[in-house]
């Protein structure tokens, strides 16, 4: 029997007998490496440490120092969870259990629904199994035999029928758990060092609401307890910042059951913040050469047939309304409306680029149970803009869009972001519209634009929309969480569907290039992001109430009214708390409402024309002449300062 050659990352080659495994090589290098290794990469593919080589191979041994090992580690946590559930609740039916960001989950269909207190029992059982040092064992199974073996697990049989090869891999863990799984996995449960079960949620089999409802158990998992503890602390902080909780406590917005889910009612304070966000964007539109437009909320279904939305997007649109002349639909997108305005007259190349901007409200049907506060709703307002230009203009237009996006981040206090360019597959799948020349032009313009601005933007191949490539900008908030924000998106389809034209310098009619561009994404989602980023303590220029004036007794009430009037006259948003309550109570309540400045006035302040200033984070700032305070605060508002 001939030996196999295994090439290591440093270029060295080991000759090993057939039947050797990556773990054997790890042991030959050092016992410490063998103890640390979690999974292997063989010929570029993830591989169990105990799986024998099948031919001459390249090998990389992955330890906790390699990020790629983390997904395998977390998936092994999911199998550990399922094994624990089956030991405790043996009649449970199994769904799927993937690794996810920061952890894992597994979907179950138990005979009796899990209760919250069951999480503690299941987690305790997981640690018991972990201590047994059980191996994750891979074995191969013929499909026919596998369907019989999994006969009491209908969801597994469905997956095997749909996805399994004639001979498929499965993994065992202890006497109770066996799972149809491609793997790989870590060697044994002893390698698992830090996990925590977090919650139970509802889920539909395969994400389809027409299928049976399952229970999904989520868990967090890291290589070390320190990392886990840091993550759990971050989750606790995220709970405090939850925009749904703060939205109620700060009286910013609500969802009204009588009106329906996913429809947002902005209360006075929330509406004021929203106005400031929208006003800033409209002012920027005008300053940057955009024209403001407004388009209807409902339009004939014929329009949506022409745009392709009725064929591609019908399930996300609200049902049609039969009126006297035709069927109408609530708009799910603003772009066809902007296209109709552009198409209303023939344009010359001298008029291009044409930039239309709108804060347009759209309506999309989201399934029950998928709505989430302000982040996923059925009615929302997009800061939509569409740019119609020539091929020669496109790169500069993309650069301008990206500069605009970065200014949004800076203005609203987001210091960190990530960007990605999503491209097509070169036409291999046939699922993308547009010619190779158009894709080359568009992708080149996107790449040159990020290069000009010095933005690091990895290319995500085969992640584009079917109608064109795009750049996505994701902000990182105060907790390091990513939020999808700005998108700059090419569209090859709509200009063709609507026969858009302009008269070029050669006197002939040509089709313009079209770019979709949304920088907030949606007002609702951006509002929720701001609430969570600032934990409800909006920067001074965005705070719905910037100052609260607090007289100590009724004797200072008249002076307090004069102070408030002067603040309002200076353009500051001020509230007068004239209740006959102790000033400490007033301060505490203003702190809970995240008001930036509390101005306490007593006899001394009234006599001297001053205010005693208290800041929501920096506490007592001492007495200041009222005019000086106003000038300082107006300066902070004018510069849109975000630092406290």
Q: How confident is the model at residue 208 (pLDDT cuts 50, 70, 90)?
A: confident
C-alpha triplet 625, 626, 629: angle, nearest 5°? 90
Residue 492 has a pLDDT of: 87
- Kindly give, in sequence order, each residue whose CB lies less than 8 Å from that of residue 476, ignoring residues fewer than 6 positions away: 414, 416, 417, 418, 482, 483
Residue 507 has a pLDDT of: 95
- Alpha carbons 220 and 558: distance in angstroms, whole number: 57
Mean pLDDT of the chain: 94
Residue 367 has a pLDDT of: 82
- Alpha carbons 466 and 210: distance in angstroms, whole number: 27
Q: Is the dihedral of CA 554, 558, 560, 565 positive or negative?
A: positive
Q: What is the distance between the terminal CA atoms of the chain, rounded to a whole angstrom?
A: 73
- Alpha carbons 544 and 595: distance in angstroms, whole number: 8
- Alpha carbons 576 and 573: distance in angstroms, whole number: 10
Q: What is the DSSP string of 384-440?
A: EEEEEE-GGGHHHHHHHHHHHHHHHHHHTT--EEEEEEE---TTSSS---S-HHHHH
Residue 1 above 60 pLDDT? no
Per-residue pLDDT of 45-101, as tens digits, reads 999 999 999 999 999 999 999 999 999 999 999 999 999 999 999 999 999 999 999
Q: How confident is the model at residue 151 (pLDDT cuts 50, 70, 90)?
A: confident
Closest CA to 467 of 445, 447, 495: 495
Residue 253 above 90 pLDDT? yes
Interval 358-384 mean pLDDT: 91
Per-residue pLDDT of 605-614, as tens digits, reads 999 999 999 9
**Contact (Cβ atoms closer than 8 angstroms) between residue 115 and residue 122:** no
Residue 449 above 60 pLDDT? yes
Interval 557-584 mean pLDDT: 96
Residue 2 above 80 pLDDT? no
**In this predicted structure, which of 52-56, 101-105, 182-186, 479-483 has the lowest mean pLDDT?**
479-483
Residue 623 has a pLDDT of: 95
Per-residue pLDDT of 167-180, as tens digits, reads 999 999 988 789 99
Q: How confident is the model at residue 432 (pLDDT cuts 50, 70, 90)?
A: confident
Residue 46 has a pLDDT of: 95
- Alpha carbons 173 and 110: distance in angstroms, whole number: 20
* 15-24 CB contacts, 8 Å cutoff, 24+ apart: 16/53, 18/52, 18/53, 19/52, 20/52, 20/53, 21/49, 21/50, 21/51, 21/52, 21/53, 22/47, 22/48, 22/49, 22/50, 22/51, 22/53, 22/59, 22/61, 23/49, 23/50, 23/187
> Alpha-carbon Rg of the chain, whole angstroms?
30
pLDDT above 90 as % of the chain: 86
CA distances (Å), origin 103, targets 36, 80, 97, 99, 186: 20, 13, 11, 6, 15
Residue 311 has a pLDDT of: 84
Structural domains for the chain: 4-62 (3.10.20.30), 68-235 (3.30.980.10), 254-295+334-533 (3.30.930.10), 547-638 (3.40.50.800)
User: DSSP label at 43?
Assistant: T
Neighbours of 42 (CB within 10 A): 21
Residue 112 above 90 pLDDT? yes
Catalytic residues: 335, 364, 382, 384, 386, 470, 516
Residue 109 above 80 pLDDT? yes
Residue 181 above 70 pLDDT? yes
Per-residue pLDDT of 480-505, as tens digits, reads 888 988 999 999 889 999 999 999 99
- Alpha carbons 617 and 534: distance in angstroms, whole number: 12
Interval 301-323 mean pLDDT: 89
Residue 314 has a pLDDT of: 86
**Contact (Cβ atoms closer than 8 angstroms) between residue 311 and residue 317:** no
């Amino acid at each position: 029997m001939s030996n196999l050659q295994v090439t290591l990352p440093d270029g060295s080659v080991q000759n090993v007998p057939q039947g050797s495994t990556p773990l054997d090589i790890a042991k030959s290098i050092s016992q410490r490496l063998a103890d640390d290794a979690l999974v292997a990469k063989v010929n570029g593919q993830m591989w169990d440490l105990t799986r024998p080589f099948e031919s001459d191979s390249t090998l990389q041994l992955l330890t906790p120092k390699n990020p790629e090992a983390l997904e395998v580690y977390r998936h092994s946590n999911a199998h550990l969870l399922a094994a624990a559930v089956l030991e405790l609740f043996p009649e449970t039916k199994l769904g799927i259990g993937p690794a996810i960001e920061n952890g894992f989950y597994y979907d179950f269909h138990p005979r009796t629904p899990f209760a919250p207190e069951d999480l503690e029992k299941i987690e305790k059982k997981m640690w018991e199994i972990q201590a047994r040092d059980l191996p994750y064992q891979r074995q191969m199974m013929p499909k026919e035999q596998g369907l019989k073996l999994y006969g009491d697990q209908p969801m597994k049989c469905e997956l095997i029928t749909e996805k399994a090869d004639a001979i498929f891999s499965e993994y065992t863990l202890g006497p109770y758990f066996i799972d149809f799984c491609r793997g790989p996995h870590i060697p044994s449960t002893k390698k698992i060092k830090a996990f925590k079960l977090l919650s139970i949620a509802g889920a539909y089999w395969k994400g389809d609401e027409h299928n049976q409802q399952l229970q999904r158990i989520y868990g967090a998992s890291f290589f070390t307890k320190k990392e886990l503890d840091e993550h759990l602390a971050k989750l606790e902080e995220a709970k405090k910042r939850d925009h749904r909780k703060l939205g109620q406590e700060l009286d910013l917005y609500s969802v009204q059951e009588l009106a329906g889910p996913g429809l947002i009612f902005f209360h006075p304070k929330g509406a004021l913040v929203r106005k400031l966000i929208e006003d800033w964007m409209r002012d920027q539109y005008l300053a940057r050469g955009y024209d403001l437009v407004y388009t209807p909320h409902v339009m004939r279904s014929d329009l949506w047939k022409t745009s392709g939305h009725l064929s591609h997007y019908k399930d996300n649109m609200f049902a049609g309304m039969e009126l006297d002349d035709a069927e109408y639909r609530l708009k799910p997108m603003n772009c066809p409306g902007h296209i109709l305005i552009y198409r209303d007259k023939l344009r010359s190349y001298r008029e291009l680029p044409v930039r239309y901007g709108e804060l347009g409200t759209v309506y999309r049907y989201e399934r029950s149970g998928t709505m989430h506060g302000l982040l996923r709703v059925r009615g929302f307002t997009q800061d939509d803009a569409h740019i119609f230009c020539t091929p020669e203009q496109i790169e500069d237009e993309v650069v301008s869009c990206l500069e605009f996006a970065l200014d949004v981040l800076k203005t609203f206090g987001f210091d960190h972001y990530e960007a990605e360019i999503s491209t097509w597959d070169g036409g291999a799948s046939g699922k993308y519209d547009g010619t190779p020349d158009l894709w080359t032009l568009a992708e080149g313009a996107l790449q040159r634009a990020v290069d000009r601005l010095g933005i690091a933007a990895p290319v995500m191949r085969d992640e584009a929309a079917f109608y064109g490539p795009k750049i996505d900008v994701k902000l990182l908030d105060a907790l390091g969480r990513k939020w999808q924000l700005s998108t700059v998106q090419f569209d090859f389809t709509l200009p063709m569907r609507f026969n858009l034209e302009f008269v070029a310098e050669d006197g002939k009619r040509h089709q313009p290039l079209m770019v979709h561009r949304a920088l907030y994404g949606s007002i609702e989602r951006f509002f929720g992001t701001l609430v969570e980023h600032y934990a409800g303590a909006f920067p001074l220029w965005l705070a719905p109430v910037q100052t609260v004036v607090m007289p100590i007794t009724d004797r200072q009430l008249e002076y307090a009214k004069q102070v408030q009037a002067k603040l309002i006259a200076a353009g500051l948003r001020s509230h007068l708390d004239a209740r006959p309550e102790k000033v400490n109570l007033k301060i505490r309540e203003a702190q809970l409402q995240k008001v930036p400045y509390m101005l306490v006035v007593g006899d001394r302040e009234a006599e001297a024309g001053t205010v005693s200033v208290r800041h929501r984070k920096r506490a007592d700032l001492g007495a200041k002449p009222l005019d000086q305070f106003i000038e300082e605060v107006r300066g902070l508002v004018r510069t849109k300062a975000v630092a406290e």
